[in-house]
Amino acid sequence: MDKSFLNSAEYLGYCLIAIIFFVISQSSMDMWDGVVFSYASETGNHEGAQISLLSFGWYLQYFLYKGLFWLEHSTGISFFELATLIAFLSTAFLGREIFLFSNKVLRLEYYYSVYALYFFAAFPIWQIFFSSIHSIFIICIFFCFLGVRLVFTSQSIFIKSFGFMIIALSFQLNSLLVLGPCLGYAYQVAGDNLKTNFWLPNKKTISIFLLAVAIYLVLKVIFPSSATSSDGYNSIINPFSSTENFLIILGAIKSFASFFTILLTPILVFFLINLFLTKNYLNDFIASIKKNYLILLTISILLVASIFSYIMVGKASVLSFDTAADWGMRHSIVLAAIFPIFLALIFRTVSLADQPSKLGHVFLSLTLCISLSFLTVGIASKINRMQFQDDLIMLLKKEEVKPGIVYFMFSDLSELPDPQMREYERNYTFYKAYEHKIDSLIFFVSDKSTQIQDKNLTNDELAMINDRAENINYQLVQLYQPSLETPPCKSLIAIKISNFKGISNIIRNSMGIGSGAIELELQSTRCS
């Protein structure tokens, strides 16, 4: 087959990644935790961003964002656009690393390695990059893959040292503390031609493991972050300490299992077709497993390593259309680097051929389509939520809302589009609406809520305003800067939304042909 065609097949994977991130880059504003950093870049006050990052031990991300703030000032390109660009480049380069790992390390044939790249490009989690906060995740994973490859393949001491350095940096994403050494082990096994010394880690593998241990001790034991020390953020759960903890761990495993049950279904069907239609298929299949058991065991180890850290702190992602928009999908970002390779390898094992048959291509394409359908719903959900936010900002510009506390009264809170807006996102909406003035705490409540029965400021509400006024750190993180020169007010806004829920509305709204609409009315304002 023409080699140029083979190369173009690989490039299609990178083009898909580019298309996805181009769509994300068109977002009108940052989302979720990212609004704290977009706000910092837009106002020039970086203290809130610093507090958010350093309190959770995100040191690499802090220096990265300092650089992005400088670039924004120097180039005029927005912080969100710069963060999205970096995320795109890291994802594309990681895609290349996944192709190389599949083709050169695991020795998958070209076609199957290309499909590993395709599965990676279509993995249903990239909608998380509508929030700039996640850029560091993909950077770290790319550093991990690149660093391990340099350590095991380069003959230069300088390049090997550079490899160890970026591996150390990648451990800023703590889940890579497990995957990094296992990835090194996979390179070792491949270097031994998948035959010898499988159970004995070599010096390079041991070095990566010791590096992971050292980083863990420094960042988690000797110098833990303030958040880790105060509230046990991402603390390891002992499943045997209580029934509750055991169920938490079991629930996390069950959640991750959804990726396997859904994305492996076409492979299972393909296997059954071959089983019933091909003579001696079962015997050949068993022989293939025996022949390649080491490589299958290696990828299984990597799969476990990619989710182990998340399971042990009780966090996981669920693959479903209902959760496609949820930010919890970020917990499967390490899985996104390994699962595509696993899918390609399983297809290779089931196919029993150096390249897929016509029927094999059909089922490979079906798997891609299933994955893309979840990704599409996730991206469309973010765009749908963004449309809701843009429409709300436009309507707010027409209203005069006094500083203090603002309640948006919904007849049915379930009509709010997903993902749900956090407090600082609601405050950021007011920041966008009122010419960069943030002087109100925004809440979404039911029209039957007790908070709004008394239209005057209650003692609890006054205490909330005063407490936050005194705590500058809290102000900057929550994007709330109370006005102390004027009396605080309490405003009630009746709001009615329609056609922002349901997959059909989400898809239509994201394409600009939907009927999502908002009506609001300022019902009362009382100032103390």
| pLDDT, tens only, 311-333 | 998 899 999 998 888 999 999 99
Q: Tell whether the torsion through CA atoms of 377, 379, 385 and 386 is positive or negative.
A: negative
Smallest CA-to-CA distance from 264 within 329, 343, 341 is with: 343
| Residue 303, in any domain of the structure | yes
Separation of alpha carbons 256 and 323, rounded Å: 13
Least confident of 99-113, 198-212, 362-376: 198-212
The answer to whether 138 and 173 are in contact (CB under 8 A) is no
The residue ranking higher by pLDDT, 498 or 528, is: 498
CB atoms within 10 A of CB 373: 14
31-35, 279-283, 302-306, 473-477: lowest mean pLDDT where?
473-477
Q: Tell me: do 93 and 154 sit in the same domain.
A: yes
Q: How far apart are CA 6 and CA 12, in angstroms?
A: 10
C-alpha to C-alpha distances, 23 to 256, 380, 462, 511, 515, nearest whole angstrom = 27, 10, 43, 11, 21
Residues 277 and 419 in one domain: no
Express as a percent the part of the chain with pLDDT over 90.
56
Residue 206 falls inside a structural domain: yes
> Given a cut of 90, is residue 53 above it in pLDDT?
no
For residues 169 and 60, is the Cβ–Cβ distance under 8 A? yes
Give the three-state DSSP class for 498: strand
Q: Return d(Cα 313, Cα 178) in angstroms, integer.
A: 13
How much of the chain, in percent, has pLDDT values that exceed 70?
A: 95
Looking at the fold, whether 390 and 432 belong to one and the same domain comes out as yes
Same-domain check for residues 90 and 233: yes
- Taking the C-alpha atoms of residue 280 and residue 274, their distance in angstroms, rounded to an integer, is 10
Residues 320 and 408 in one domain: no
Distance between CA atoms of residues 277 and 284, nearest Å = 13
The pair of three-digit structure tokens given for residue 224, joined into one six-digit string: 């833990």
Q: Please report whether residue 69 resides in a domain.
A: yes
Question: Domain count of the chain?
Answer: 2
State the residue range of the domain holding 276: 3-356
Residue 194 has pLDDT above 80, yes or no: no
> 414 is written with which tokens?
């379930």
For residue 46, pLDDT over 50 is answered with yes
Question: What ranges make up the beta strands (E) of 32-110?
Answer: none
Q: Write the DSSP string, 228-243.
A: HHHH-TTPPP-TTS-H
Nearest to 388 by CA among 361, 408, 364: 408
- Tell me the two tokens of residue 325: 């928009």
Tokens of 492: 């009630």
Q: Can you name the residues that pair with 490 across neighbouring β-strands? A: 405, 526
With a cut of 90, say whether residue 437 has pLDDT above it.
Answer: no
Instruction: Return the pLDDT at 404.
Output: 87
Task: Tell whether 346 and 395 lie within a shared domain.
Answer: no
Q: Kindly state whether residue 376 falls inside one of the protein's structural domains.
A: no
Same-domain status, 94 and 232: yes
| 161-178 pLDDT, tens digit each | 999 999 999 999 999 999
Cα separation, 440 vs 528, in Å, equals 14
At 1 the pLDDT is 47
Over residues 96-101, mean pLDDT? 95
* Arithmetic mean of pLDDT, 3-16: 77
Which of 356, 372, 404 is where one domain is finished?
Answer: 356
Determine the pLDDT at residue 241. 86
The confidence score (pLDDT) of residue 197 equals 53
Are 267 and 411 contained in the same domain? no
Mean of pLDDT values over 399-412:
88
385 and 351, same structural domain? no
Provide the token pair at 522. 């300022």
| SS percent in the chain: helix, strand, coil, step 5 | 65, 5, 25
| Residues 167/213, Cβ–Cβ less than 8 Å | no
The residue-averaged pLDDT of 496-511 equals: 91
450: tokens are 């007790």
List all residues 6 or more positions away from 227 whose beta carbon is below 8 Å from its beta carbon: 55, 56, 57, 233
Q: What is the pLDDT of residue 228?
A: 62
Whether 407 contacts 451, CB under 8 Å: yes
Q: What is the pLDDT of residue 229?
A: 54
DSSP state at residue 173:
S
In 3D space, the residue among 204, 159, 167, 171 whose CA is nearest the CA of residue 186 turns out to be 204
Q: Is residue 363, in this structure, part of any structural domain at all?
A: no
Do residue 333 and residue 409 come from a single domain? no
- Is residue 369 included in any domain, yes or no? no
**Residue 231 confidence (pLDDT) above 70:** no
Model confidence at 360: pLDDT above 50: yes
Output the CA torsion 59→64→66→70 (10° steps). Answer: 170
Higher pLDDT among residues 349 and 9, named by residue = 349
Residues 352 and 385 both lie in one domain: no
Query: Per the domain annotation, does 115 fall within a domain?
Result: yes
Paired sense of beta strands 517-527 and 489-498, if any: antiparallel
Q: Give the pLDDT mean for 89-94.
A: 96
- 371 domain-assigned: no
Tell me the pTM: 0.92
Tell me the CB-side half-sphere exposure of residue 369, using CA atoms within 13 A.
Answer: 8
| Interacting residues of 297 by C-beta distance below 8 A, sequence separation 6+ | none
Same domain, 325 and 414: no
Q: Name the phi and psi angles at 252, rounded to 5.
A: -65, -45
Residue 428 has pLDDT above 70, yes or no: yes
124: preceding bond cis by omega (within 30 degrees): no
Half-sphere exposure of residue 385: CA atoms within 13 angstroms, side-chain side? 26
Residue 4 pLDDT greater than 80, yes or no = no
Average per-residue pLDDT for the chain: 89
